């Protein structure tokens, strides 16, 4: 995922490295605008196209963009609405060549990968695609996720760009904004598949709310692991966990650093907080639980001993289809949980 920096970490870099946004490698996210390629539905539009993004900026084109380039997770969400992209940037393939978790149902063999890790973005390949729109996420105001600072000016000159909040929002709001964009690009958002996914999502939200209400003493910790540090994230800073909090889930509240997203703990101090369930960052940039068995303090945590460690989709794909299972899995974990911490 992101690139490791040992000095002068930006706030975005720390965010990416820690529990809130990437880990393992320290991402320093910043991005900007671009063009895209969207295919998609029967409701093709002619004439000028405009879309006001979450920066408050309006992207414009003479016609609906077709050659779309997007951050991998956003591309995966657009795919769920029937909008296909020509190119992607961000975690797309794992080291063994398989689709990264953030690629969702994208056929990663059919998209041009402009960069697979933090700091990579092939501007020449991007230009060769003839981009008409660039779309990415935004964890901090005006910072385009996975668009490198050093090349963003060149990138943004080539096509209009759209940035959609991944923080300072909630899952339903984020899904709606991705749906708004997909609709503007020609998606049929009333299609049976999409309405069925929305119904499943709403049912899952009700189930999670009921589970949290039935187990008010169960406390959840949001974790992300690297070789040297364990990051505990603050629930209200991310779209997923803020929404879970709104549904009644109780979270550990760490003493966050100046960036405001998470607290870094040494492995010697990983038992600082009591937790009954630990949600662990599932991104390829973070160490997964099976890689932590050699750390004595980890295996002694009550939640670990109780078998109450679950994956966390730290960067959700914002479609109803991909977010419904996230709610269902957390609901089941709380329903099945015993007091451990």
DSSP letter for each residue of 54-119: TTS-EEEESS---SEEEEHHHHHHHHHTT---SEEESS-B-TTSPBPGGGTT--TTSSEEEESSTT
Which DSSP state fits 166?
S
Question: What 3-state DSSP class applies to 334?
Answer: helix
Q: Are residues 323 and 179 in contact, defined by beta-carbon separation less than 8 angstroms?
A: no
Backbone angles phi, psi at 265, to 5 degrees: -120, 140
- Closest by CA to 301, choosing from 221, 211, 228, 217, is 221
Which DSSP state fits 297?
H
- Checking 47-50 for CB contacts under 8 A at 24+ apart, the result is 49/184, 49/185, 50/184
Q: Are residues 281 and 260 in contact, defined by beta-carbon separation less than 8 angstroms?
A: no
Question: What is the bridge-based pairing of β-strands 219-225 and 229-233?
Answer: antiparallel
Which residues lie across from 162 on neighbouring strands?
Answer: 135
Structure tokens at 28: 């320093």
Mean pLDDT per 10-residue segment, the chain (341 residues): 33 50 36 36 66 98 97 98 98 94 96 96 98 96 95 97 96 98 97 97 98 98 97 95 98 91 96 97 93 96 97 96 98 96 63
pLDDT recorded at residue 47: 77
Question: What 3-state DSSP class applies to 41?
Answer: coil
CA distance 299 to 210: 30
- Checking 194-200 for CB contacts under 8 A at 24+ apart, the result is 194/80, 194/81, 194/320, 194/321, 197/80, 197/319, 197/320, 197/321, 197/324, 198/320, 200/320, 200/324
Q: Are residues 1 and 93 in contact, defined by beta-carbon separation less than 8 angstroms?
A: no
Instruction: Please tell me whether the overall predicted TM-score, pTM, comes out greater than 0.95 for this model.
Output: no
Q: How far is CA 138 from the centre of its chain?
A: 10
- Closest by CA to 12, choosing from 29, 32, 24, is 29
Backbone angles phi, psi at 18, to 5 degrees: -95, -165
Which residues lie across from 277 on neighbouring strands?
Answer: 220
pLDDT recorded at residue 258: 83
Q: Are residues 103 and 111 in contact, defined by beta-carbon separation less than 8 angstroms?
A: no
Residue with tokens 């414009």: 60
CA distance 24 to 283: 9
Structure tokens at 322: 């991909």
Question: What 3-state DSSP class applies to 171?
Answer: helix
């Amino acid at each position: 995922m992101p690139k490791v920096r040992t000095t002068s970490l930006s706030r975005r870099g720390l965010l990416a490295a820690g529990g809130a946004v990437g880990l393992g490698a320290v991402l320093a996210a910043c991005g900007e605008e671009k063009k895209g390629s969207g295919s998609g539905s029967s409701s093709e539009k002619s004439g000028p196209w405009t879309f006001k993004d979450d920066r408050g900026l309006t992207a414009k084109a003479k016609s609906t963009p077709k050659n779309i380039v997007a951050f991998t997770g956003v591309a995966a969400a657009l795919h769920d609405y029937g909008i296909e992209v020509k190119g992607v940037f961000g975690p797309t393939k794992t080291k063994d060549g398989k689709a990264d978790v953030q690629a969702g149902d994208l056929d990663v063999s059919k998209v041009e990968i402009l960069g697979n890790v933090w700091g990579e973005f092939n501007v020449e390949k991007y230009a060769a695609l003839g981009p008409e729109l660039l779309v990415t996420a935004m964890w901090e105001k005006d910072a385009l996720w996975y668009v490198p600072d050093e090349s963003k000016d060149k990138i943004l000159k080539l096509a209009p760009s759209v940035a959609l909040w991944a923080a300072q929002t909630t899952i339903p709001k984020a899904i709606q904004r991705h749906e708004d964009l997909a609709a503007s690009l020609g998606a049929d958002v009333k299609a049976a598949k999409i309405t069925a996914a929305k119904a499943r999502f709403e049912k899952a939200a009700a189930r999670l709310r009921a589970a949290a209400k039935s187990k008010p003493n169960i406390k959840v910790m949001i974790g992300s692991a690297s070789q040297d540090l364990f990051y505990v994230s603050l629930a209200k800073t991310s779209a997923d966990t803020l929404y879970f909090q709104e549904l009644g889930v109780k979270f550990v509240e760490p003493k966050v650093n100046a960036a405001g997203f998470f607290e870094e703990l040494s492995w010697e101090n990983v038992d600082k907080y009591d937790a009954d369930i630990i949600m662990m960052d599932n991104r390829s940039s973070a160490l997964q639980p099976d890689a932590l068995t050699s750390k004595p303090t980890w295996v002694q945590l009550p939640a670990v001993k109780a078998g109450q460690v679950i994956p966390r989709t730290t960067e959700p794909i914002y479609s109803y289809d991909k977010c419904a299972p996230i709610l269902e899995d957390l609901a089941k974990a709380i329903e099945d949980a015993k007091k451990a911490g």
